[in-house]
Structure 1
Amino acid sequence: FYSSSKQSPIPLKVKLSVTEACTEFCALDGRAFEVIKGDGFKNLAKALFDAGQASNKSSIEVTDFLPHPTTVRIINFVNILTTLLDLMHFQISRN
């Protein structure tokens, strides 16, 4: 596998565990391996990392942090609708 020549502040065991989890994510969910380079995936990883650091409880399951797919769908729909309404308002105000 690809190995960087620079020293990482992350222990090798942790790095390998994350690499394996990313590989499983792509394979199990049918995602392209390139997805882990995307800004969206990085934002998700950072949010989960920050949430884990903020909650000093080992009894919390990772699924407790994850929203229901319907919640994500509704937020996406509202964002699209807001964008369309903004565009319509822009078009009306130009005429």
Structure 2
Amino acid sequence: MAARTAEIKAYVVPDVKAEAAEVYARWGMSLSDAINVFLVKSIDAGGLPFDMRASSKPCYDPASVLPVDPRWGASVLPVDMDDEEDDVYAQLVR
């Protein structure tokens, strides 16, 4: 393998960098290693090496949503978003 001497500079959110570093450290990789793997796989795939389409699965916890009320249609609002001032949620769960 050729020496890795080319430099890439990127700006990321500090928390994202720290969490990603933790993820790759579990695999024994540095962020530099992970980025190199990403770039090589991008070349192999001729683009992004993963699917960017949205998941067809719901992105919420079904236990945390209000029940479906036919008068209002299907509701997927989290229960913890209840605003006591407008009483909308109380009307939905009557």
- Asked if TM exceeds 0.5, the reply is no
TM superposition score normalised by structure 2: 0.32
**Structure with the largest fraction of helix:** 1
TM superposition score normalised by structure 1: 0.31
